[in-house]
């Protein structure tokens, strides 16, 4: 299954703005997370992205690229803005499509899975004549993940853990809609722990936990005895899949913190 994943806006086009946040950055973060969840957990998925960094790219360039590649599905990720009081999640398919169309059925599945995890009000399944929905030759959907100018939604949007949940909802929905095959875990029984710092001094470990918390990454202090010495390790997740542990390492490293994986 060929998925064209399109984080909205980018470069000179910030998209919606509010509460110190810019849509282009959040949409990119969510889309990168969707890609890594899908690639780490499913076999028959090929993901291309309209952008993987903060670049300017026109809507025509995006849809031309997806059409030329022969994508099976076009998923565009956005964050909404309106008047400060509107809030919640909504998604769109093209206005010409019926509720019984294949696109509508894929959207129904993805909508359900995203709503299970996003903690947002459900504004419904909508239709519109957006460029990316109209000019794509494959099934296409656009999601608007909360309102950046609404205090309630922005409080969630700014949290890395929330963006991971939103990405997870999209990934599970896409996997269900397209019957993706889960990857077999060939390291059954092994637990991959992500360590975001190891300290001789407990206070330093506690400070690291607080810092990660401020960036939306949950962690706790675990003691480890190495060569007879006690170390305070900051554990930020434990995974049965090494790839998922590596994804967490990259998330932590993007916050300027070194992290590594242990299997003890
Ligand atoms: Zn947008």
Q: What is the pLDDT of residue 67?
A: 98
Q: What is the pLDDT of residue 206?
A: 94
Q: Is 192 helix (H, G, I), strand (E, B) or coil?
A: strand
**Longest C-alpha distance within the chain, in Å?**
69
Distance 191 CA to ligand 1 centre (A): 39
Q: Which residue has the higher pLDDT, 183 or 11?
A: 11
173: pLDDT strictly greater than 60? yes
Report the topology of domain 192-262. Alpha-Beta Plaits (3.30.70)
Distance 186 CA to ligand 1 centre (A): 39
How do residues 65-120 score in pLDDT, each as one tens digit?
999 999 999 999 999 999 999 999 999 999 999 999 999 999 999 999 999 999 99
The arithmetic mean of pLDDT across residues 229-251, rounded, is 91
Residue 144 annotated in active site: yes
Query: So where are the chain's domains?
Result: 2-177, 192-262
ipTM over the 0.90 cut-off: yes
For residue 97 the two structure tokens come to 């499509």
Distance 258 CA to ligand 1 centre (A): 33
Distance 202 CA to ligand 1 centre (A): 44
Mean pLDDT rounded to a whole number for the chain: 94
186: pLDDT strictly greater than 70? no
> Which H or E run contains 130?
none
The architecture CATH gives domain 2-177: 3-Layer(aba) Sandwich (3.40)
Is 171:34 a contact under the CB 8 Å cutoff? yes
Distance 118 CA to ligand 1 centre (A): 18
- C-alpha torsion angle, residues 197, 198, 202, 208 (rounded to 10): 0
For residue 132 the two structure tokens come to 């990316």
What span, in angstroms and rounded, lies between the C-alpha atoms of 239 and 54?
30
Q: What is the pLDDT of residue 187?
A: 53
Q: What is the pLDDT of residue 189?
A: 73
Q: Which residue has the higher pLDDT, 227 or 21?
A: 21
Among 23, 90, 113, 144, which one carries the catalytic annotation? Answer: 144
Confidence of residue 188 (pLDDT cuts 50, 70, 90): low
What span, in angstroms and rounded, lies between the C-alpha atoms of 79 and 139?
21
Lowest mean pLDDT among 8-12, 150-154, 252-256: 252-256
Q: What is the pLDDT of residue 69?
A: 97
How do residues 44-71 score in pLDDT, each as one tens digit?
999 999 999 999 999 999 999 999 999 9
Sign, CA dihedral 96-100-106-109, equals: positive
> Which H or E run contains 74?
strand 73-80
The arithmetic mean of pLDDT across residues 2-28, rounded, is 97
For residue 27 the two structure tokens come to 């949409």
Q: What is the pLDDT of residue 191?
A: 87
How do residues 192-226 score in pLDDT, each as one tens digit?
999 999 999 999 999 999 999 898 888 999 888 88
Share of the chain above pLDDT 90, in %: 84
The residue behind tokens 């909404």 is 80
What span, in angstroms and rounded, lies between the C-alpha atoms of 208 and 109?
39
């Amino acid at each position: 299954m060929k998925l064209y994943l399109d984080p909205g806006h980018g470069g000179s086009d910030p998209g919606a703005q509010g509460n110190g946040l810019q849509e282009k950055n959040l949409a990119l973060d969510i889309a990168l997370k969707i890609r890594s969840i899908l690639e780490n957990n499913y076999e028959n998925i090929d993901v291309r992205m309209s952008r993987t960094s903060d670049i300017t790219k026109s809507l025509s360039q995006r849809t031309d690229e997806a059409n030329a590649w022969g994508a099976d599905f076009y998923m565009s990720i956005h964050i909404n803005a309106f008047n400060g009081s509107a809030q919640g999640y909504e998604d769109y398919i093209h206005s010409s499509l019926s509720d019984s169309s294949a696109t509508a059925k894929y959207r129904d599945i993805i909508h359900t899975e995203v709503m299970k995890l996003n903690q947002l009000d459900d504004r419904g399944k909508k239709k519109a004549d957006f460029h990316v929905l109209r000019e794509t030759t494959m099934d296409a959907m656009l999601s608007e993940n909360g309102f950046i100018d609404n205090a309630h939604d922005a409080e969630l949007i700014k949290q890395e853990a929330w963006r991971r949940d939103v990405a997870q909802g999209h990934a599970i929905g896409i996997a269900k809609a397209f019957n993706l095959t889960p990857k077999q875990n060939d390291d059954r029984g092994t637990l991959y722990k992500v360590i975001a710092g190891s300290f001789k001094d407990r206070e330093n470990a506690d400070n690291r936990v607080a810092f990660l918390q401020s960036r939306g990454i949950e962690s706790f202090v675990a003691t480890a005895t190495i060569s007879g010495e006690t170390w305070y390790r900051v554990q930020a997740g434990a995974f049965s899949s090494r790839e998922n542990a590596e994804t967490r390492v990259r998330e932590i490293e993007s916050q300027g913190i070194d992290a590594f994986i242990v299997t003890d």
